[in-house]
Amino acid sequence: MVKVKNRNGTSGECKNCGPWRDHWDRFSKNQLFKDLDCSNSTCDTGEKAEHGAHVKKCGSVDNKTYIVPLCNTCNQLSSDKCFDVPESLLIDVNGCKGKSLKEILENLK
């Protein structure tokens, strides 16, 4: 597990992948977003993951932004509230930066 917090005020789409859920699917390799429950280990809503949420690691110097599957409730958490998610579910938002869709798909084979 790794502690993360929301990066509020982020939205839009990945310029190569479209919706952030699709970006997450493309780079997670082993799982499909639509099959996941909320990634927040303390979530008790029972909701499925609906959002490709922008998060950053709490207390980390890397300051990278990641996409992680969250339910609607957890996607609305304040950006100062840290919560635990499996580190294996973090997908870098810059995974396809500067690459064409063809290059992305070739690298995943």
Helix (H) or strand (E) holding 83: strand 83-85
Domain with 55 in it: 2-107
Q: What is the pLDDT of residues 31-53, one digit of tens each?
A: 777 778 999 999 999 999 999 99
Domain count along the chain: 1
Q: What is the pLDDT of residues 49-96, one digit of tens each?
A: 999 999 999 998 888 999 999 999 999 999 999 999 999 999 999 887
For residue 84, give every residue at least 6 positions away whose Cβ sits within 8 Å of its Cβ, in sequence order, or none.
1, 2, 3, 4, 40, 41, 42
